Amino acid sequence: MAYPLMPKATAAWLVDNTALTFDQIAEFCGLHPLEVQALADGEVNSGIMGTNPILNGELTAEEIARCEKTTNAKLKMMKTDLPKPKARSKGPRYTPVTKRAEKPNAVAYLLKRYPELADVQIAKLVGSTKPTVDAIRNKTHPMMSSIKPVDPLSIGLCTSEELDKAVKKAQRRIERQKNGGPATAADEDDEDTATVDAAADVQQDNDAA
């Protein structure tokens, strides 16, 4: 599915200029509904300049009006000749050196905003390690005094699709636990992936040195 070229800026414009629901905007922009709500409340990316999807040829005023009338209607992107972004292949996530220092900040944000996420899920999302997430959660990290929550989506450490998938998996896990069910193999896969990602970052640091 194609998404707007600037998802958050488009979402901000739709929040300010339409009567669309957070769910409708989130689905069109490829964001989580909670992200759209946070944008509307000014909790994240405050001061972001909205981008008009009508002027960008991504939506029509008629399409917006159609969906404003029915809350379960889905916005349809206008056809465009712009190339679609390529999906990231599976395997260790490469994190640029300039963004690596932001990982603890991203971990702090996810712990605060999505407390239902398991440590291994957070580690996988931002390419960190389970011990690091645990240290930040328990406020024992050596750099704790300088860590400030930063949305990992805004700095490109993970995508909204990856975050949405992780949150839904966490919610299913919590629901299973409430019903007395065990953890699943999928949770173990998350831990394996987090370990692989962490090893990849160590190798990147060695290469950079």
Number of helices (H), then strands (E), in the chain: 10, 0
pTM for the full predicted model? 0.47
Residue 193 in this model has a pLDDT that exceeds 70: no
Per-residue pLDDT tens over the stretch 129-168:
889 999 999 999 988 898 999 888 887 888 888 888 999 9
Burial class (CB in 10 A: 0-12, 13-18, 19+), 50: middle
Local confidence band at 187 (pLDDT 50, 70, 90 cut-offs): very low
Kindly tell me if the per-residue pLDDT of 63 is higher than 90.
yes
How many other β-carbons are positioned within 10 Å of the β-carbon of residue 111?
Answer: 16
- Residue 194 in this model has a pLDDT that exceeds 80: no
Give the pLDDT confidence score for residue 121 in this predicted structure: 92
